[in-house]
Amino acid sequence: MLKPQPSLQSQFSSSSTQTPSFLLHKPFLHGNGYSIASLPILSMQYSFHKKNKNVRIASVPGNNIKAVATASTDNGDKATSVKAIVTVKLTVGGFLSSLVIDRDDITDLLGKTLLLELVSAQLDPKTGLEKETIKGYAHWKSQDEGEVKFASGFEVPADFGEVGAIFVENEHRQEMYLKDIILNGFPNGPVNVTCDSWVHSKHDYPHKRIFFANKSYLPSETPEGLRRLRKEELVILRGDGKGERKTHERVYDYDVYNDIGDPDSSDDLKRPVLGGKQYPYPRRCRTGRPRSENDPLSEKRSSNVYIPRDESFSEVKQLTFAAKALYSVLHALVPSLEAAMVDGELGFPYFTAIDSLFNEGVNLSPDHKKAQNKVSLLNTLPRLVNSITQAQDEMLRFETPETMDRDKFFWFRDEEFARQTLAGLNPYSIRLVTEWPLKSKLDPKIYGPQESAITTEMIEQQIKGFCSVKEAISQKKLYILDYHDLFLPFVSKVREIKGTTLYGSRTLFFLTPEGTLRPLAIELTRPPIDGKPQWREVFTPCWDATGLWMWRLAKAHVLAHDSGYHQLVSHWLRTHCCTEPYIIATNRQLSAIHPIHRLLLPHFRYTMEINALARESLINAGGIIESSFSPGKYSMEFSSVAYDQQWQFNLEALPADLLNRGLAVEDPTAPHGLKLTIEDYPFANDGLVLWDTIKEWVSDYVNYYYPNPTAIESDQELHAWWTEIRTVGHGDKKDESWWPVLNTREDLIQIITTIVWVTSGHHAAVNFGQYTYAGYFPNRPTIARNNMPSEEPSEEVFTNFLRKPEGALLQCFPSQLQATRVMVVLDVLSNHSPDEEYLGEAIEPAWAENPHIKAAFERFNGRLKQLEGIIDKRNANRELKNRNGAGIVPYELLKPFSEPGVTGKGVPYSISI
């Protein structure tokens, strides 16, 4: 047995619980003839004294190393032996980055990796003060695939009370990812502490991390021994609003969107600040980066965008799919496409050239020197990129979308154009027509006549034999995609951008007796511009060649409007962007042990990281959205206008949204309390079942923790949370009268259900079908590049149109570079990660510990499985023509579960891509 020399014994008489310093140096052991790496059995024991606690640092045979803190009390009560098992995930960038334990490291060998301190939930009855913590080092115990276990033993006095929290100090110089801590040995069963958190090195930040046990408490019910810690942890998370945030920090604070532009690189990349009176917008997470040199209102851009450390992707997402794949697309593949295409404005010469993207592919490296990043791409994007060894070329070959695979001409058909407003990528825009004639609300002095050019005679000619316009409106048979007032103010500005154009548009549909929609008319409008009066024209399906091709061109413009609105409003604004303030407020105002914090936590995972990546490379000045979608460089400004004019929290609830758009009426006798005006509306039908399922789960949860109204009234954290969401996170709308009040359990259930729906069902419906419906871009062109041939045409333009109308349509479509750039991004965004966390599939540890909540979750899971069967049955019903028919892709976007990949189904908990 190795024993310390007598001259060193004095070092043990210390008031410190730290391991004697001489033990941390290899020379001490090597100098006594020992090699730490080769020690088969090592048994050392040192004891020293601190007040009335004896602490023993020990190493026992078999590499099963333990640190035992032995506590004795004056009254001689018998202590309980407790064993702590700490699970640390192997990570690439943090502690254990080599994926093996360095057995030569004496620091690890003697347990200098993790210092644990048990915190009592009770105060000392004698002093009324918090009890002294019980400390012990955790030592390496074992290694499994992807995880390392550390163990520590404690002797817990009988009067210590319930362990309510654990302090953790990371002694290493690298961060580590703690999964959980389990304390075994207590007579009432184990104490579980779920961490799922990066723990910084004490050398980066000296304050210890605190992790609360899995039992949840309302603020008024918090045990006395945890009250101070509960409040202080929230203070840390709020920060002081000063300085640039560091990578390891966990501070949640608010800022405006002042980092979209890059004025230091170019004046053309300067963008207005979003957030404030002129451009209302939700708030984002503050990074504290310095201000731009050329624009003091803007933040300087950098490749490393701060988000609170625990908001980052899991390593599986980083390494196997989501973040790495999207990052690779944006930073390697897209530049490769740009390098490979000599002319970025070149359109597709023939439709067969579009087909070749799926059959032959795009040569990424005509100059092999430009192919430096391709090898990693082949590994990162196996679905997209197929390596073809021909003359050292590398090809980007796209998978054929399911829509195209089922029906090559699906995109050409009017009935499919109409069907996708109900069962496609953007089911959130179709509205009921309630007034006639259609009228704009814009100033006629600036934008021209308000009344639409679509006349009663035009529509009645289209629906001849069915009913009059008046009857169609009263019978709720007339519907509209209205992109007139929202787009028209941007037309003049967008038309100044080379290679693109814009209109305001209205598209009318008629509900047929079969329950399908039939397109009736498209109105395209250009406001007065360059001294010219307003131009507008109505296009209808017709039976002559010229009129038919004009109709097809008009549809292309409408689809470009719908694509831009979908991406910037239905998708980015209403899910990603508006959710970020909920995440910030939840972490600032609701303690980690608050039951509502734990209910919302899985719905917020990874959203802030994907939003930061979007600000870096998707919605930024000159990014994918601006360069390839309507309305170009004004895209984020357009999103701000939509937020200002359209967004209301109370209308984000699915039932309220349907009622607001006239797609449903209240009916207490109908399922879900609503009667749909279009009975076969796949998104609404499936969505309402999912909404009710979520609401039942939330109701079970809220009613358990808030058994009476008094509990809601007295919850200060809850009210601070809701107030901050309204007045800070969405502060530009703080004075709106439509904000729900929070006084009752029903109020809270509605608020929480709305947030959960937005992060799960709403996002899934507008995201995971992107490649399916837009992968073949003629079905959903993202931008229109040429004006209609009939808008003040030159003789040459109109002659060319008449001679070869297909060419006019191809030139109106996105360029080759725009199309392929969007296609690769949509493919990645439509993918489910291998570690995707689907709604209701796996129970959160804190939920599982409470029998009532666990039972409610099991009911939730069962109802979601039932929804899978309901959707399958609906898709098999031939009477439902909007989801069943020749060549039609079944509507599965709201099926809760999915396998990895581009599947067109699956509802994750959170906005994680």
The beta-strand segments (E) located in 37-187 are 44-50, 53-59, 67-71, 80-89, 114-120, 134-144, 147-156, 163-170, 176-184
Q: Active site residue: 139, 561, 566, 576, which one?
A: 576
Q: Is 576 a catalytic residue?
A: yes
Render the burial of 533-560: b for 16+ CB within 10 Å, e for the rest. ebbbbbbbbeeeeeeebbbbbbbbbbbb
Please give the Cα distance from 685 to 705 (Å, whole number).
31
Q: Active site residue: 561, 566, 571, 672, which one?
A: 571
Q: Please name the residue that has the structure tokens 């131009």.
A: 535
Please give the Cα distance from 473 to 728 (Å, whole number).
41
Q: Is 30 a catalytic residue?
A: no
Residue type, 547: G
What DSSP element (H or E) covers 491?
helix 491-494
Please give the Cα distance from 625 to 635 (Å, whole number).
7
Q: Is 426 a catalytic residue?
A: no
Q: Where does residue 23 rank: exposed (0-12), middle (13-18), buried (19+ CB within 10 A)?
A: buried
The separation between the first and the last C-alpha atoms of the chain, rounded to the nearest angstrom, is 56
Residue 249: closest CA among 318, 313, 193, 308 = 308
Please give the Cα distance from 103 to 300 (Å, whole number).
44
* CB distance 100 to 94 below 8 Å: no
* CB distance 758 to 574 below 8 Å: yes
Render the burial of 348-377: b for 16+ CB within 10 Å, e for the rest. beeeeebeebbeebbbbbeeeeebeebeeb
Q: Is 49 a catalytic residue?
A: no
Please give the Cα distance from 152 to 134 (Å, whole number).
12
What DSSP element (H or E) covers 388?
strand 385-390
Q: Active site residue: 170, 767, 779, 875, which one?
A: 767
C-alpha atoms less than 13 angstroms from C-alpha of 758 in its C-beta half-sphere:
31
796: its two tokens: 């040459």
* CB distance 339 to 115 below 8 Å: no
Please give the Cα distance from 904 to 231 (Å, whole number).
44
Q: Active site residue: 459, 763, 787, 875, which one?
A: 763
DSSP string, 95-130: TTTTSS--TT-HHHHTT-SEEEEEEESSB-TTTSSB
Q: Please name the residue that has the structure tokens 């004698």.
A: 126
Q: Active site residue: 210, 694, 783, 913, which one?
A: 913
Strand partners of residue 541 = none
CA angle at 192 for the pair 122 and 49, rounded to the nearest 5°: 55
* CB distance 747 to 713 below 8 Å: no
Render the burial of 865-901: b for 16+ CB within 10 Å, e for the rest. eebeebbeebbeeeebbbbbeeebbbbbbbbbbbeee
176: its two tokens: 């580590």
Q: Please name the residue that has the structure tokens 């994907």.
A: 610
Residue 860: closest CA among 903, 898, 909 = 909
Q: Is 172 a catalytic residue?
A: no
Q: Please name the residue that has the structure tokens 């390392």.
A: 148
What amino acid positions are annotated as catalytic residues? 571, 576, 763, 767, 913
